Homo-oligomer: A and B are copies of this chain.
Amino acid sequence: MSDCAASEPVRLAERLNHVETSAIRELFKLLGKPGIISFAGGFPDAALFDVDGIREATLAALDSQAGAALQYGATEGLDALREQLAAFMAGKGARDVTATDLIVTTGSQQALDLIGKALISPGDKVIVEAPTFLATIQCFKLYGAELITVPVDDQGADVEALERLIAQHRPKFVYLIPTFGNPSGAQMSLERRRRVLELAVRTRTLVVEDDPYGDLYFDVPPPPSLLALSHEVPGGRACLVHCGSLSKVLSPGLRIGWMVAPPLLLAKATMCKQFSDAHTSTFAQATAAQYLASGRMPATLQRVRGIYAQRAAAMVQALQQTLGAAIDFVPPRGGLFVWARLTGAGGGPTDAVALAQRAIAHGVAFVPGAPFFARDPDVATLRLSFATVDEERIREGVRRLAAALHG
């Protein structure tokens, strides 16, 4: 077909000039190499999926409501699922959220897309964390956003810096992953969460809270989400969008996310969704609704948390023992990732992009951190996922990483 490509009468939209196929996507093509240990993934372990529970749920959906599960549905989502999702969030402290305060989205990626479509005009400014989720950067850039970055430390986004940036840039909105963010793994402190909400109300700034990882804590639960806290801050809810997902806790393949937003924005996002994909698969929605109704979720969460906690501990210990001062990181308290920085101690490398290539030659893969920065990339950073690798392989992978570091 290559001769055809040259002759396509295709004139692309101007917005495509803002994005490129991701560097990570190119890296992933190398992962097919046999025997490689991959810390590069951003996905949960398929071996932990509750296949039996999902099978029962889909059979229940087809038996009790085949029409609804297979027919077109409302753009907002199936009522049964919206009610289950409201109840799921209520169980995590967001007690004043009702089914009509949310819409179902095709994964939380679509929530980001709808936020972009409904809010971003070319040239608009949006504040994101440095680092932040790569697909968020690309998604918002595709709508023409100019991204401004706020630094993140182990307590989450720096709220004082955020206040200055809001005053300086008057962004359309601020996008945060306050809990075990991808890639930072950071957990924003309760105090900073309160300050973010107060800042949003005071400066009349919309804040988008992306929360796909909050359920994956290892030991103690994280502080309440901005959504759960918002009832403590008068006016907070009107300034807040909250994106949730079943992808990390149940199954990404269902593509079930959701979005809580104030009424005007929710209506406009729904209209945008109507012309994006009409609605999320009712087949997947009905299955997810039956699963949540079945009562299996708490046990599923407990099991998944336990296993990821063990793997995280194994990775943290192996990194500390094997790499020592060559890398610096804060042990994660949840999520799927260790976010680390090459220190250069002892004359070791400080370029994670170069190290990633060398690591693959040594049989281990990770993702360099630079692409996660919307601007001013820190090339010494890297993201290591422990989610899909068992403890023995984690230790072996870290040994290979050490060999790459020293080779």
Which residue in chain B gives the minimum CB-CB distance to A239? Answer: B9
List, sorted by A's number, 6 A–B pairs whose CB atoms are closer than 8 Å: A1-B262, A9-B204, A25-B274, A54-B62, A110-B277, A113-B275
**In whole angstroms, how far apart are the Cα atoms of A117 and B15 in the complex?**
8
B1 and A263 contact, CB distance less than 8 A: yes
Contacts A109-B278, A142-B117; is A8 near B255 (CB within 8 Å)? no
A330 in the interface (beta carbon within 8 A): no
**Segment touching B, from A69-77, A84-92, A218-226, A367-375:** A69-77
Interface secondary structure of A, over-half rule: helix
A 257-281 to B, binary, CB cutoff 8 A, 1 in contact else 0: 0000011110110011011111111
Contact of A49 among B67, B254, B280, B286 (CB under 8 A): B67
A 32-50 to B, binary, CB cutoff 8 A, 1 in contact else 0: 0000000000011011010
Total chain A interface residues with beta-carbon distance under 8 A: 91
> Which residues on B sit within 8 Å (CB–CB) of A9?
200, 204-206, 238-239
A264 and B43 contact, CB distance less than 8 A: no
Q: Using a CB-CB cutoff of 8 Å, which residues 198-253 of chain A contact chain B?
A: 200, 204-206, 235, 237-239, 247, 251-253
**In whole angstroms, how far apart are the Cα atoms of A303 and B102 in the complex?**
39
Contacts A8-B262, A276-B109; is A55 near B62 (CB within 8 Å)? yes
A379 in the interface (beta carbon within 8 A): no
Within the complex, the shortest CB–CB distance from A251 to chain B, in Å, comes to 4
Which residue in chain B gives the minimum CB-CB distance to A254? Answer: B283
